[in-house]
């Protein structure tokens, strides 16, 4: 039998299954909480810190996507301090690489851009780093643009956990961190990549896109991860 | 003691520029140079980016004629993909390009140039602008606003957006034409045509008063360059290049844009960031040519639309080949007429409404050239890519660049005629500026820079000492 816990969410009592994360419960309650590295169906990374919430008694804000629910928890999701922190995160992401939305393939369909708009990020208070980054267009169908990558690792996880190819990895540390394919050889030369395109679809930004797409043309299909996971775990596919 | 005059910045032109006038020992104008002092290298910026991003990126060179860059860039990309784009896609690009022609010419004529004709060259600069015009001749100012708006609307409806329309893509267009858009434009066309005809008639009445300007406004022999169709008709989107002599003799015809480097050279001068293109067979600087509306009307055999052809016949009656840059203004009005008529023809053609508007392909050729006629003249985009389709090199020749040599000669001519003293008078300044404005130079484009319309004039003596200086912000 499933254990049920009760917690207080923004002043309301709610119950949840003990194996749920705070983010699951928050979403069930239809509370709008921004996320970037989280993707339904993939393992959690807890890296972007956009989903931070205040848990009473905790010394610092917690990432809801990696925090399990516990009995008696008191949680707040939208304090001015939290909103301030989320804005900070988005501003830092924008300043770290080269985000020029007006000429970006996903302009208008970008999770980072939506998060910025929703949080009211009208300007960036940090100096842009303007790093000199390359693109990898060696793959026949897809392109990787490091300029727009926010290192969320959604590509890494979907490739490993859903497609089972594990083409993607993370190399380097700190500001030098990059996503790589097959021990850093050009994507087009990757023997493990099956060209399924799952990474491209789950990438929240314009970092991964279909070759030939022009500005604002690239839209992404995200629901498929859920279908695949459900189909597999519930054995819905019977052929 | 010889002297120098510098004019900086020229008002009511796009971009930033400076003029230096050099006087000799007798206080006569010895030389005049038109400097463009801004530089922004889009050619460098695009390196390493996928070619498919180029149209949208290059459109950012200019907020005034982004469509022209979009079209030339998309055509260069078509060449990289080595595709023939569907007729409907080509026709829609043509219409957007002509919408751009109409709106840009309307801006140049009504907002930037007409105040001079209406109030006279020596009128107070505080009055000699669109606001003053609104007070003096409200119906004329209103016509200008409406015509420009119509052009912009065409761009927005078919191109998807007013300033940087996203629907023009490598391989064609991303959206077919809807019947609703077609009918909306066709409904409003007759009113726009009436305005264009009315304005042309008004302008012709005015020109009689400007005989002196006609004589001294860049009135000198140069060659003319522009695109023509297969039968030598006027062409703004596709076609081949034709170059004619100052007498009208065809020197080069049906030149393939792809081979432009065979016949167009680009010289550099230390006093300007703007390159000086010239016709290679004649060398530099003898190979000076002009581009733009005047060039197109001088070199094309016909417009191919009834009203514009009638207007062109009257225009060309004046002299065989029109050499004074003053005629650029009338040429612009005739092209507006042509643009509107042609848009109508294209919209009425059922082929334009076809659903099939785009060809898809990857990079199939490592080099591509795209040429189109921007409102201000021939525009060349030339790209090279690597095997993956990433840009490795680009060269752009912008309309204002082609006119660079001619603009310098015009400034000299006007300065020689109107600059008579060691100090700068308002009327003289206005004329020097006006001759530059006749070319409607878009300096933000030509140096690929974004900037304010500014110009300074310096007057310098024979030893380079500054005698007088005027700045306009
Ligand atoms: S990835 Fe998103 S935020 Fe970054 S440039 Fe593209 S649209 Fe803008
Ligand atoms: S490429 Fe996209 S999905 Fe992968 S880490 Fe970067 S932003 Fe995330
Ligand atoms: S969504 Fe929770 S840390 Fe990124």
Average pLDDT in chain A? 94
Q: Which residue has the tokens 């069930």?
A: A28
Residue B13 has pLDDT above 50, yes or no: no
Pocket lining: A98 vs ligand 1, CB cutoff 6 Å: no
More confident residue, B62 or B464: B464
Q: Of the candidates B48, B166, B169, which has its C-beta nearest A135's C-beta? A: B48
With bands split at pLDDT 50, 70 and 90, how would you rate the model's confidence at B77? very high
Residue B9 has pLDDT above 70, yes or no: no
Q: Which residue has the tokens 């200019």?
A: B62
Task: Give me the helix-helix angle, B328-348 and B87-106, nearest 10°.
Answer: 150
Nearest-CA residue for ligand 2 atom 8 is A152
- B322-349 pLDDT, tens digit per residue, is 877 788 889 999 999 999 999 999 999 9
Sign of the four-CA dihedral B181, B182, B188, B192:
positive
CB-based contact B448:B35 (threshold 8 Å)? no
Provide the pLDDT for residue B231.
94
Provide the pLDDT for residue B126.
72
Instruction: For residue B327, count other CB atoms closer than 10 A to its CB.
Output: 24
Mutate to test the pocket of ligand 3, among A31, A34, A36 (most ligand atoms within 8 A of CB): A36
- State the nearest Cα–Cα gap between B292 and chain A, in angstroms: 29
Cβ separation A135–B49 shorter than 8 A: yes
Ligand index nearest the alpha carbon of residue A135 = 2
Return the ligand 2 atom nearest residue A199 CA: 3
Q: Which residue has the tokens 């006027």?
A: B234
Residue B452 has pLDDT above 50, yes or no: no
- Strand, coil or helix: B387: coil
Residue A121 has pLDDT above 80, yes or no: yes
Q: CA B470 to CA B91: how far, in whole Å?
A: 47
Share of chain B above pLDDT 90, in %: 49
More confident residue, A98 or B419: A98
CB neighbour burial string for B404-442, b if at least 16 within 10 angstroms, e if fewer: bbbbbbbbbbbbbebbeeeebeeebbbbbbbbbbbbbbb
Nearest-CA residue for ligand 3 atom 3 is A46
Of the candidate ranges A138-142, B125-129, B386-390, B459-463, the one whose mean pLDDT is the lowest: B125-129
- B125-135 pLDDT, tens digit per residue, is 677 777 788 88
Contact residues, chain B to chain A, C-beta under 8 Å = 48-50, 52-53, 55-57, 60, 164, 166, 169-170, 174, 360, 362, 388-390
According to the 3-state scheme, what is the secondary structure of chain A? CCCEEEEEECCEEEEEECCCEHHHHHHHCCCCCCCCCCCCCCCCCCCCCCCEEEECCCCCCEEHHHCECCCCCEEECCCHHHHHHHHHHHHHHHHHCCCCHHHCCCCCCCHHHHHHHHCCCCCCCCCCCCCCCCEECCCCCEEEEHHHCCCCCHHHHHHHHHHCCCCEEEECCHHHCEEEECCCCCHHHCCCCCCCCHHHHHCCCCCEEECCCCCCCCCCCCCHHHHHHHHHHCCCCCC
Average pLDDT over residues A147-160: 98
Q: CA B312 to CA B333: how far, in whole Å?
A: 10
Measured CA distances, A132 to A135, A147, A176, B54 (Å): 10, 8, 11, 19
Residue A25 has pLDDT above 90, yes or no: yes
Structure tokens at B157: 């409806």
Average pLDDT over residues B432-459: 57
- State the nearest Cα–Cα gap between B88 and chain A, in angstroms: 20
Provide the pLDDT for residue B113.
76
Provide the pLDDT for residue B178.
96
Structure tokens at A175: 């500001």
Distance of CA A122 from the midpoint of ligand 1 (Å): 14
- Strand, coil or helix: B39: coil
- Top residue of B45, B49, B51, B53 to mutate, by most chain A CBs within 10 Å, is B53
Cβ separation B362–A211 shorter than 8 A: yes
More confident residue, A66 or B3: A66
With bands split at pLDDT 50, 70 and 90, how would you rate the model's confidence at B3? low
For chain B, the domains span 42-402
More confident residue, A163 or B119: A163
CB-based contact B277:B266 (threshold 8 Å)? yes
Provide the pLDDT for residue B303.
95
Provide the pLDDT for residue A57.
95
Strands, E, within B10-129: which ranges?
17-23, 29-36
Mutate to test the pocket of ligand 2, among A105, A187, A203 (most ligand atoms within 8 A of CB): A203
Nearest to A214 by CA among B93, B164, B473, B107: B164
Cβ separation A134–B48 shorter than 8 A: yes
Residue B358 has pLDDT above 80, yes or no: yes
CB-based contact B153:B136 (threshold 8 Å)? no
Provide the pLDDT for residue A155.
98
CB-based contact B110:B140 (threshold 8 Å)? yes
- State the nearest Cα–Cα gap between A49 and chain B, in angstroms: 31
Give chain A positions within 8 Å (CB) of B52. Answer: 211-214
Residue B14 has pLDDT above 70, yes or no: no
Size of interface A-B (CB pairs under 8 A): 50
Cβ separation A211–B55 shorter than 8 A: no
Q: CA B9 to CA B36: how far, in whole Å?
A: 10
Give chain A positions within 8 Å (CB) of B390. Answer: 135, 137
- B109-130 pLDDT, tens digit per residue, is 887 777 777 777 677 767 777 7
| CATH fold for domain B42-402 | Cytochrome-c3 Hydrogenase; chain B (1.10.645)
Cβ separation B53–A105 shorter than 8 A: yes
- B254-267 pLDDT, tens digit per residue, is 999 999 999 999 88
Backbone phi and psi for residue B211, each to the nearest 5 degrees, phi listed first: -55, -40
Average pLDDT over residues B172-195: 96
Q: Chain A residue closest to B385 (CA)?
A: A137
Residue B446 has pLDDT above 60, yes or no: no
- Helix (H) or strand (E) holding B263, with range, is helix B260-263
Give chain A positions within 8 Å (CB) of B55. Answer: 214-215
Q: Chain B residue closest to A100 (CA)?
A: B57
Of the candidate ranges B2-11, B14-23, B291-300, the one whose mean pLDDT is the lowest: B2-11
Q: Domains, chain A, ranges and CATH?
A: 7-78 (3.10.20.740), 102-234 (3.30.70.20)
Return the ligand 1 atom nearest residue A104 CA: 6
Provide the pLDDT for residue B455.
61
Q: Of the candidates B57, B174, B362, which has its C-beta nearest A103's C-beta? A: B57
Provide the pLDDT for residue B374.
92
- Strand, coil or helix: B438: helix
Provide the pLDDT for residue B209.
79
With bands split at pLDDT 50, 70 and 90, how would you rate the model's confidence at B430? confident
- A172-214 pLDDT, tens digit per residue, is 999 999 999 999 999 999 999 999 999 999 999 999 999 999 8
Average pLDDT over residues B55-71: 82
- State the nearest Cα–Cα gap between A135 and chain B, in angstroms: 7
- Top residue of A148, A214, A219 to mutate, by most chain B CBs within 10 Å, is A214
Nearest to B96 by CA among B31, B163, B8: B163
Provide the pLDDT for residue B263.
94
Residue B454 has pLDDT above 60, yes or no: no
Pocket lining: A202 vs ligand 1, CB cutoff 6 Å: no
Q: CA B408 to CA B405: how far, in whole Å?
A: 5
Q: CA A135 to CA A31: how far, in whole Å?
A: 37
Average pLDDT in chain B? 84
Mutate to test the pocket of ligand 2, among A204, A206, A220, A222 (most ligand atoms within 8 A of CB): A204
Ligand index nearest the alpha carbon of residue A106 = 1
Distance of CA B79 from the midpoint of ligand 3 (Å): 44
Question: Cβ of A213 under 8 Å from any chain B Cβ?
Answer: yes
Q: CA A213 to CA A218: how far, in whole Å?
A: 6
Provide the pLDDT for residue A239.
60
Average pLDDT over residues B154-168: 88
- B86-101 pLDDT, tens digit per residue, is 999 999 999 999 999 9
Ligand index nearest the alpha carbon of residue A159 = 2
Q: Give B102's Cβ-side CA count (13 Å radius).
A: 31
- Bridge partners of A208, per DSSP, are A144
Query: What's the DSSP call for residue B236?
Result: S
Nearest to B460 by CA among B29, B12, B18: B29
Residue B442 has pLDDT above 70, yes or no: no
Pocket lining: A205 vs ligand 1, CB cutoff 6 Å: yes
Ligand index nearest the alpha carbon of residue A153 = 2
Question: Cβ of A215 under 8 Å from any chain B Cβ?
Answer: yes
Give chain A positions within 8 Å (CB) of B362. Answer: 140, 211-212
Whether this model's pTM surpasses 0.90: no
Q: CA B230 to CA A125: how far, in whole Å?
A: 56
Backbone phi and psi for residue B47, each to the nearest 5 degrees, phi listed first: -60, 135
Which are the contacts of A12, defined by CB distance < 8 A and separation ≥ 6?
A29
Pocket lining: A22 vs ligand 3, CB cutoff 6 Å: no
With bands split at pLDDT 50, 70 and 90, how would you rate the model's confidence at B16? low
Provide the pLDDT for residue B423.
72
Measured CA distances, B311 to A200, B41, B318, B330, B332 (Å): 56, 40, 12, 10, 11
Cβ separation A137–B389 shorter than 8 A: yes
Provide the pLDDT for residue B449.
31
Q: CA B27 to CA B273: how far, in whole Å?
A: 29
Residue B41 has pLDDT above 90, yes or no: no
Provide the pLDDT for residue B100.
94
Pocket lining: A152 vs ligand 2, CB cutoff 6 Å: yes
Provide the pLDDT for residue B64.
65
Range 17-56 of A in CB contact (< 8 A) with B: none
Of the candidate ranges A128-132, B240-244, B277-281, B406-410, the one whose mean pLDDT is the lowest: B406-410
Q: CA B88 to CA B177: how far, in whole Å?
A: 8
Measured CA distances, B31 to A159, B28, B209, B319, B401 (Å): 68, 9, 28, 29, 20
- State the nearest Cα–Cα gap between A103 and chain B, in angstroms: 6
More confident residue, B134 or A96: A96
Distance of CA A144 from the midpoint of ligand 3 (Å): 22
């Amino acid at each position: 039998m499933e254990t049920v816990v009760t917690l207080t969410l923004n002043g309301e009592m709610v119950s949840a299954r003990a194996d749920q994360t705070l983010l699951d419960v928050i979403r069930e309650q239809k509370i709008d909480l921004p996320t970037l590295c989280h993707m339904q169906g993939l393992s959690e990374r807890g890296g972007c810190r956009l989903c931070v919430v205040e848990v009473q008694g905790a010394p610092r804000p917690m990432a809801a996507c990696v925090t399990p629910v516990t009995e008696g928890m008191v949680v707040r999701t939208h304090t001015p301090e939290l909103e301030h922190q989320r804005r900070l995160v988005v501003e830092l992401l924008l300043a770290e690489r080269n985000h020029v939305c007006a000429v970006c393939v996903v302009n208008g369909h970008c999770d980072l851009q939506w998060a910025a708009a929703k949080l009211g990020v009208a300007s960036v208070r940090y100096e842009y780093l303007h790093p000199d980054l390359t693109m990898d267009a060696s793959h026949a169908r897809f392109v990787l643009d490091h300029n727009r990558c926010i290192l969320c690792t959604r590509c890494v996880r979907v490739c490993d956990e859903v497609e089972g190819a594990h083409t993607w990895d993370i190399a380097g540390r700190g500001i030098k961190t990059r996503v790589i394919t097959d021990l850093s050889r050009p994507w087009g030369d990757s023997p493990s990549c099956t060209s399924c395109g799952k990474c491209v679809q789950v990438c929240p930004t314009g970092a991964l896109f279909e070759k030939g797409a022009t500005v604002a043309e690239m839209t992404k299909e995200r629901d498929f991860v859920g279908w695949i996971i459900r189909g597999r775990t519930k054995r819905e596919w019977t052929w | 003691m010889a002297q120098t005059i510098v004019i900086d910045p020229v008002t009511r032109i796009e971009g930033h520029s400076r003029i230096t006038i050099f006087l000799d020992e007798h206080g006569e104008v010895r030389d005049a140079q038109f400097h463009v002092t801004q530089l922004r290298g889009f050619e460098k910026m695009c390196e390493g980016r996928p070619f498919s991003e180029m149209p949208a990126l290059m459109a950012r060179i200019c907020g005034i004629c982004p469509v022209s860059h979009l079209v030339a860039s998309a055509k260069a990309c078509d060449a990289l993909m080595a595709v023939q784009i569907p007729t409907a896609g080509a026709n829609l690009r043509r219409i957007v390009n002509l919408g751009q022609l109409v709106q840009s010419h309307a801006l140049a004529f009504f907002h930037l140039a007409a105040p001079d004709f209406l109030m006279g060259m020596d009128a107070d600069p505080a009055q000699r602008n669109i606001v003053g015009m609104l007070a003096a001749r409200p119906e004329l100012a209103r016509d200008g606003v409406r015509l420009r708006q119509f052009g912009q609307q065409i761009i927005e409806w078919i191109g998807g957006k007013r300033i940087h329309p996203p629907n023009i893509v490598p391989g064609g267009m991303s959206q077919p034409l809807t019947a609703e858009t077609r009918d909306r434009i066709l409904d409003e066309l007759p009113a726009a045509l009436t305005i264009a005809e009315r304005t042309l008639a008004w302008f012709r009445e005015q020109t009689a008063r400007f005989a002196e300007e006609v004589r001294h406004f860049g009135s000198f022999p140069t060659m003319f360059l522009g695109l023509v169709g297969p039968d030598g008709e006027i062409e703004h989107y596709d076609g081949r290049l034709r170059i004619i002599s100052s007498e009208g003799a065809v020197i080069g015809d049906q030149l393939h844009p792809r081979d432009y480097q065979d016949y167009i050279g680009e010289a550099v001068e230390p006093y300007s960031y703007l390159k000086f293109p010239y016709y290679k067979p004649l060398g530099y600087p003898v190979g000076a040519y002009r581009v733009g509306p005047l060039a197109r009307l001088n070199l094309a055999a016909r417009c191919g639309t009834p009203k514009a052809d009638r207007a062109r016949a009257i225009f060309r009656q004046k002299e065989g080949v029109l050499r004074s840059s003053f005629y650029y203004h009338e040429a612009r009005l005739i092209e507006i007429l042509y643009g509107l008529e042609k848009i109508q023809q294209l919209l009425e053609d059922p082929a334009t409404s076809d659903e099939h508007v785009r060809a898809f392909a990857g990079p199939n050729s490592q080099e591509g050239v795209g040429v189109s006629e921007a409102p201000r003249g021939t525009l060349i985009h030339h790209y090279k890519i690597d095997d993956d389709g990433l840009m490795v090199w680009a060269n752009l020749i912008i309309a204002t660049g082609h006119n660079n040599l001619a603009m310098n000669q015009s400034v000299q001519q006007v300065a020689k005629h109107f600059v008579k003293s060691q100090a700068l008078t308002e009327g003289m300044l206005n004329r020097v500026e006006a001759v530059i404005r006749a070319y409607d130079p878009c300096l933000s484009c030509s140096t690929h820079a974004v900037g304010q319309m500014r110009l300074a004039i310096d007057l310098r003596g024979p030893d380079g000492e500054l005698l007088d200086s005027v700045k306009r912000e």
